[in-house]
Structure 1
Amino acid sequence: MAAKLSPCLMSVRHDAGLYRELDVLERLQLSLPDGYEIFHSVNWHTIHHGSDVYGEIDVVVLGPSGNMLLIEVKAGDAILRDGQLYKLYDGHERDITKQSQVQYAAMRNRLSAAKLDSHVDHCLVLPDYNVDDTHIISTPRERIIGAGEYDTLGRRVRELIPTTSCKSDVEAVRRFLANEFKVSPDLRVLGDQLRKTSRQLSDGLATWVPRIEAPSGVIRIQATAGSGKTQLALRLLEDAATEGKRALYVCFNRTLADHIGRIAPARAKVTSFHELCVAHYRRAVGEPDFSATGIFDVVAEVYCRDAGVSALRYDLIVIDEGQDFEPAWVAGVLAQLNDDGRFYFLEDEAQRLYKRDDFDLNGAVTLTCSDNFRCPTMIVNVINALGLANRPIDSRSPFAGELPEFRRYNSERELVHQTAQAVQSLISRGVAVENIAVLTGRGHANSSILKKNQLGDFTVRRFTGQYSVDGEPIHTDGDLLLESIYRFKGQSADGIVLTEFDFETLDDPVRRKLFVGMTRAHLAVELVLSAQADSALERALLG
């Protein structure tokens, strides 16, 4: 019999691109006997000097006695200097032994809070680094397992775990660890599974909102990013198509309309608001002069003027991204609803990127939802710590994830380099390049990133500003998506890189852009910030 591994890694491929930890896990599972249990990617949270501190322990081995060993795995070469061990990450040295000590203290803290008394020890596993008998100040030599002892890993681990029974119930300690670990460290394997699970969890809105009756036929849903608004919209459109009803879906963002149009029932009309206005203008007036200043204001005014007398009527109307609509636009679209029709208004104040006046929808039944099923818990924690939403959002993702990485740049050259490094970091953690979106906070007109045809080692896919004869946006041919936060609203990706953020203070417009950008991520976020923006976020986090 072999040791039990939690969670199971049966679905993980063992090829050269995956983490070295997987080899350590496999070796431990094969070399430790029945009665031992191995937990990997154990996330911890503790309080240090009044502040929240988060981290992750690579491996925890629980012995039959109820005692445990914390294992920090560091692949590749290490640096031994002045009795201290260091590891190089992206050009920066990190104290390996200090990291292990912090994790040890955090585990003791969590056990104490849970009123559990289990003996805890820790060790370093350096599978690619030969450690001689040189004196290491911060870690006893017997607690470092180097390349020379790697073949005896299982035996060394058994020797480091006391065999005397711990004072607490072993099953209680096991349950404690089982509740602390989250997922496999391989994001490549995790991505599809997590997206599917998140969709299933966030189907709640799509399940019960259509059952709600409103005497006025108007239902207003104020729901945060990742709560399932897209699933709800699709469910409403599909139900209308099944029942043979005329349905209209309208949003502000053209790219979101294109996305929904590809997955919605063919019977439903899916459009952005200004596309809707242009189509009406062509029928009522003629071809718009798109070179004229303010032409989109003109076509919107004509549509809102005529909507109430238009012969086009709908049994179902869904407005998405409602926070970006002018009150007059909403009134115009609502005027096309049949007397016995249903009108759903989906919005999220925290995602409002444009200055709009507030308004009421008379007779509307209003629902609120602060549950985010898309983003990992660690990302949601940072969103709440920065106060990016007008009220705290609740993480409902089954994945804890990691804290976002903050990268600082001091010049345009560093900006490009750090953005490419952020992409490479996501890829090294298992996120496929086709599942990464690089989003700029500057917008198309002022962005230098969106003018690139190559970013680091990657060819890029970016919007050219032109459309095909069929109305489809034309992109350059490349692997890595570059886009503005404005155009990527309503969409998502496994890995998100936010770049070209430069601000002195964390004001409301900046908060909203950061919120929109960070809530696009299923797995991980990296931020590339100017020095002053990085300092502003640091001040906000320190409170």
Structure 2
Amino acid sequence: MARTHPEGWRLLPAEGARGRELATLARLAAALPEDTTIYHSLHWTRAEGRTAVFGEVDFAVVGPGGRVLLVEQQAGFLDETPTGLLRPGRRRAAQLSVELARNADALRARLRPLLDGTEPVLDVLLHCPDHCVRQPGTAGLDPERIVDAGRRDQLPAIVAALTRPQEGDPALDAAHRQALHRFFADLLELVPDVQSHIGQVEDLTTRLSGGLTEWARRIVVEPHRLRVTATAGSGKTQLALAAYTDALAAGRRPLYVCYNRPLADHFARIAPAGGEIATYHQLCDRRVRDAGRKPAFGAPGAFRRMEADFATLVREQPDPAWQFDELIIDEGQDFTEPWRDALLALLKPAGRAWWLEDPLQNLYDRPPVALPGWVGLSADTNYRTPADVLALLNARLPLPAPVRAGSPVTDSEPEIFAWRDEAGLMDATKRAITRALGLGFRRDAIVLLTFRGREHSRFTPLDHLGPHRLRAFTGRYDLLGEPEHSQGELLIDSVYRFKGQSAPCILFTEIDFETTGGRMDELTMRKLFVGATRATMKLILVASERAAAALAPVAEAG
């Protein structure tokens, strides 16, 4: 099965022209070999000198040897004219062969510098699954590069043949093949959001041109010490992924470290092979074991002792096998100054370091880490969370500064269901699930987040909530290190574990201020902010009556 980029497309709404494209993508992904990559829905806007260049292509298929095939899909009927095939129904007729040639020429020009002057092997293909081309000779394209309704069943085989290495193709080494991937996955702003498993978010965020990922990497400072303080949904982890990929492409060895295990697991799944990816405690464990010591996790204070052993090892017994050229620290707000010192000790003398943080996601109430001499960069625009959810948070939470909305989703209409006692909590949560399903969200697009931690949640012992089977983390990992979940359809997790991830529909339940005497203190505010900003399309709060009064959507206030 071929690789696809970005991932998550199977969860996109399959309607209209988009549905036809997704059906084609599914066919190609299933039929093409695993050493082939399909980039889909490529849209770009770039400034070239004083000119804005726009382009789009439905699919770019990159074969194992680096051959690139641009596939344009045109559903419906076409107009056949003496000058070529035209898209019908537009005020200004668009000749398909001209559009394909223009896109191909533009991409060739961009690829040449990345391939050190090697001429890219790039071809085009028109797929018109509903139209039989009656006069292929006048279509403006090589008839072999047209897959019409009469040949649509042959599409995967034709694509495979056109992307298979041919005699005389320039030899592309691993670095050049990586350059091709970076071109389509980075230059065209297709760096996937490492926090999201859902295609709807990727479909929106991949169309954002520029942003934190691009500008932070343009900063030149020696030594490279960059502290990025950015709000939720601004692209911190996307930046981490781009920096990690850049390091590998340049022959440097990267180390990515975060605090949360789910984020580390997800980053490891989507990052290129090479380098090291771990939570801080995973890194401590690996280094200590490599030195011949086995942490006694069952003993009291085991983690503190392991942290101390790790710090001693990196300080007193430096090992070249544990030295890195690029250090990327994500979730920096959850780190401590001793951890900072231990990690910087793993950096080679000419190494580069990144520190990515969001103080509003400091759920463990850690003091800020001092980074003297580092260059700072801040970003306060959230591109992930619906604008009206951010308006609610700005109005109802005592945030240190308003968070700017960058998401094109503006009318999600956040809702709140109130409860009085434990029975009411369960009933209100079930009603919230029913509401989400009624809005058209599938169960795999809904996440039930608990305000309390896993150890204290009233939902932890449950495997069902009404007719809904819950899918919860069991606390165990399989032999490959993947988290094990109970057999259910509706994911339930705590706000602590789900930090760093997102979902189209978030049901944020158990919200109460019981531990703070009914007040919204600093930590409560941060938990509310983290939980609410996990939503990309819909947020439903399930809160106690006193909390609901403080969090009522703006339109309902007063």
| Shared fold per TM-score greater than 0.5 | yes
Which is higher, the Rg of structure 1 or of structure 2?
Answer: 1
Question: Whole-Å Cα distance in 2 between the matches of residues 421 and 501 of structure 1?
Answer: 15
Question: Whole-Å Cα distance in 1 between the matches of residues 282 and 484 of structure 2?
Answer: 17
Question: Whole-Å Cα distance in 2 between the matches of residues 392 and 310 of structure 1?
Answer: 45
SS in 1 for 2:460: helix
For residue 222 of structure 1, report the CA deviation from its aligned partner.
0.2
Question: Whole-Å Cα distance in 1 between the matches of residues 351 and 307 of structure 2?
Answer: 23
CA contact (8 A) 1:350 1:388 kept: no
CA contact (8 A) 2:260 2:279 kept: yes
Q: Aligned pair 1:438/2:445, yes or no?
A: no
CA contact (8 A) 1:248 1:317 kept: yes
CA contact (8 A) 2:398 2:525 kept: yes
- What's 2:402 paired with? 392
- What's 2:246 paired with? 239
For residue 248 of structure 1, report the CA deviation from its aligned partner.
0.4
- Are the structure 2 counterparts of residues 291 and 496 from structure 1 closer, same or farther at C-alpha, using a change threshold of 3 Å? same
- What's 1:195 paired with? 202
Q: Aligned pair 1:474/2:484, yes or no?
A: yes
CA contact (8 A) 1:377 1:397 kept: yes
Q: Select the residue among 514, 520, 529 that pairs with 2:528.
A: 514
Q: Aligned pair 1:351/2:361, yes or no?
A: yes
Range with bigger deviation, 317-326 or 356-365: 356-365
For residue 287 of structure 1, report the CA deviation from its aligned partner.
1.5
1:93-492 equivalent positions in 2, closer than 5 A: 192-201=199-208, 204-308=211-315, 309-311=318-320, 312-387=322-397, 389-492=399-502
SS in 1 for 2:215: helix
Give, as a single letter, the amino acid of the residue that structure 2 aligns with 1:509: L
For residue 535 of structure 1, report the CA deviation from its aligned partner.
2.9
Question: Whole-Å Cα distance in 2 between the matches of residues 217 and 468 of structure 1?
Answer: 38
Question: Whole-Å Cα distance in 2 between the matches of residues 10 and 288 of structure 1?
Answer: 55
For residue 10 of structure 1, report the CA deviation from its aligned partner.
6.9
Q: What is the number of equivalent residue pairs in this alignment?
A: 359
- Are the structure 2 counterparts of residues 539 and 494 from structure 1 closer, same or farther at C-alpha, using a change threshold of 3 Å? closer
In structure 2, runs of 5+ residues without a counterpart are: 1-14, 21-197
Q: Aligned pair 1:528/2:542, yes or no?
A: yes
Q: Cα deviation per residue 1:304-339 (whole Å; 9 max; x = unaligned)?
A: 222233431111110000000011101111111111
Question: Whole-Å Cα distance in 1 between the matches of residues 509 and 538 of structure 2?
Answer: 14
Q: Cα deviation per residue 1:430-477 (whole Å; 9 max; x = unaligned)?
A: 222101111101111111212211123221110011111222211011
- Are the structure 2 counterparts of residues 192 and 261 from structure 1 closer, same or farther at C-alpha, using a change threshold of 3 Å? closer
Q: Cα deviation per residue 1:132-184 (whole Å; 9 max; x = unaligned)?
A: xxxxxxxxxxxxxxxxxxxxxxxxxxxxxxxxxxxxxxxxxxxxxxxxxxxxx
Range with bigger deviation, 197-206 or 259-268: 197-206
How high is the sequence identity, in percent, across the aligned residues?
40
Give, as a single letter, the amino acid of the residue that structure 1 aligns with 2:334: D
- Are the structure 2 counterparts of residues 370 and 539 from structure 1 closer, same or farther at C-alpha, using a change threshold of 3 Å? closer
SS in 2 for 1:297: helix
CA contact (8 A) 2:471 2:487 kept: yes
CA contact (8 A) 1:203 1:232 kept: no
SS in 2 for 1:415: helix
Question: Whole-Å Cα distance in 2 between the matches of residues 374 and 283 of structure 1?
Answer: 40
Give, as a single letter, the amino acid of the residue that structure 2 aligns with 1:497: L
Q: Give the RMSD, CA atoms, in angstroms.
A: 2.2
CA contact (8 A) 1:371 1:395 kept: yes
SS in 2 for 1:271: strand
CA contact (8 A) 2:264 2:278 kept: yes
Question: Whole-Å Cα distance in 2 between the matches of residues 316 and 500 of structure 1?
Answer: 41
CA contact (8 A) 2:213 2:239 kept: yes
For residue 363 of structure 1, report the CA deviation from its aligned partner.
1.6
